[in-house]
Amino acid sequence: MPQLYPIKLFLPQSNKLSHKTAKSSLSGPEVFVDLVDKSSHPAALKEALDGLLKKDVYQAKPTQLYWYRKSTLDNSYAGLLCGLPSQECIHPQLTTHEHVLDKRVQLFSDYLAATQLQAEPILVLHENTTFSDAFAAKMYKRSCATQYTLGNELHEIWLLDDEEAKEVKRFAAAEKQFHLADGHHRLASSIDYADKRHKNITILSFVVAKNQLYNDRFVWALKQFPKGISAIDIDPKKTANETSVKMLSIGCLMGKNTQQIHFPKTTNAASFLFEEILGFSTLNAIDLGEYIDYFPPSASLSAEFLSDADPYKAKFFYDPLSIDQIIQTAKAQKILPPKSTYLLPKLPTGLFIAPMDSFE
């Protein structure tokens, strides 16, 4: 298991905080989102971030472990805010289930080098729901230290005292593995940043039990066929080699007609679609965005979009993987296709800022 380290946080002042989604894909404090939108290069971004910290728009909190809860109208998600040491964030201590693209890793590594700040935690899961449920009940017996409201979301933060911190560290030491749920490029970029400087850094992390996660799925819209593919093959003989194997299905919309692509229950829909229908391999890091537009569940897709494939070659709809399926994939050191999961919670960027601290 990676060790859990206390981390220094900069948190925004409540009176400087508002919710913004109109001008950016980022969802977080308006002062931070505006800053990222307007900064034209890393040096300008660092200068602007330093200005936020110096002007008390953000205030430094103690270096320690935190308990954090995000609540919406429908759900709440809670876990530990902490640092994971970069040198321990590798299999088998921390498993991953997606490839990363070198270009994106380098881009974000350069951002970290320029700003020296982390503005969004990686999302890490563990399987000890008994510990998490009991610890959460203990936290909620007292009021949180800090809270924010962003849109319809409530964000609450508790500071752990010395005894609670020791309890958390004992829990972590007893666990066999953590699993990276979301943030593969952020993790790879942080490790790249640390390796280039020959340092062990603390990676800002939100560590949650598996029952605190929810997975949905993207709608895949095919912009162009991969090389060697000219049509969608829905031949049932290809997708059902053995009639004794229980079959599942993927919805495929071509024009205005929906057909079902059947596949065996021994695999999962995203992998079957990626490999058997589109002809890619999970052994390779593919920039699938060249071929696919992804629409998350939050996109509020219209009835017209869902009933007509045009202007796309096809649209694909499939049941999401369970959290346990994702964990088992990671434990087996297998890789899922990009954009095959849509894991909640999604944390606001810039709500927590942590320095790129190193320790030896």
β-strand 76-85 against 202-209: which pairing, if any?
antiparallel
Q: How far apart are CA 65 and CA 282, in angstroms?
A: 37
- Look at residue 112 in the predicted model and tell me its pLDDT: 92
Contacts for 183 with CB less than 8 Å, ≥ 6 apart: 120, 121, 122, 123
Q: What is the CA radius of gyration of the chain?
A: 22
- Look at residue 91 in the predicted model and tell me its pLDDT: 87
- Look at residue 95 in the predicted model and tell me its pLDDT: 96
Kindly give the confidence (pLDDT) of every residue in the chain, 360 residues in length, as a single tens digit, with 9 standing for 90 and above: 789 999 999 999 887 776 555 445 667 787 787 777 777 677 788 888 888 887 778 888 989 999 999 999 889 999 999 999 999 998 889 999 999 999 999 999 998 998 899 999 999 999 999 999 999 999 999 999 999 998 889 999 999 999 999 999 999 999 999 999 999 999 999 999 999 999 999 999 999 999 999 999 999 999 999 988 888 877 655 544 545 456 789 999 999 999 999 999 889 999 999 999 999 998 899 999 999 999 998 888 999 999 999 999 999 999 999 999 999 999 999 999 999 999 999 998 889 999 987 665
Residue 265, Cα to own-chain centre: how many angstroms?
26
Q: How far apart are CA 222 and CA 224, in angstroms?
A: 6
Q: How far apart are CA 337 and CA 250, in angstroms?
A: 15
Q: How far apart are CA 105 and CA 67, in angstroms?
A: 29
Output the CA–CA distances (angstroms, integers) from residue 148 to 6, 12, 89, in the order listed.
Answer: 22, 9, 30
- Look at residue 20 in the predicted model and tell me its pLDDT: 55
> How many CB atoms are closer than 10 A to CB 277?
22
Is the whole-model pTM more than 0.85? yes
Q: For residue 137, what are its two tokens? A: 């009940």
- Look at residue 17 in the predicted model and tell me its pLDDT: 73
- Look at residue 22 in the predicted model and tell me its pLDDT: 44
All domains in the chain, ordered by first residue: 10-213+345-355 (3.90.1530.10), 217-320 (no CATH)
Contacts for 219 with CB less than 8 Å, ≥ 6 apart: 294, 295, 299, 301, 315, 316, 317
- Look at residue 236 in the predicted model and tell me its pLDDT: 55
CA atoms 190, 195, 199, 200: torsion sign: positive
Give per-residue burial for 46-57: e unless 16+ CB within 10 Å, then b. bebbeebeeeeb
Q: Are the beta carbons of 11 and 52 closer than 8 angstroms?
A: no
Three-class SS state of 54:
helix
Q: Are the beta carbons of 222 and 312 closer than 8 angstroms?
A: yes
DSSP class of residue 38 equals: H
Residues paired with 75 in a beta bridge: none
Residues paired with 118 in a beta bridge: 354
β-strand 178-182 against 94-95: which pairing, if any?
parallel
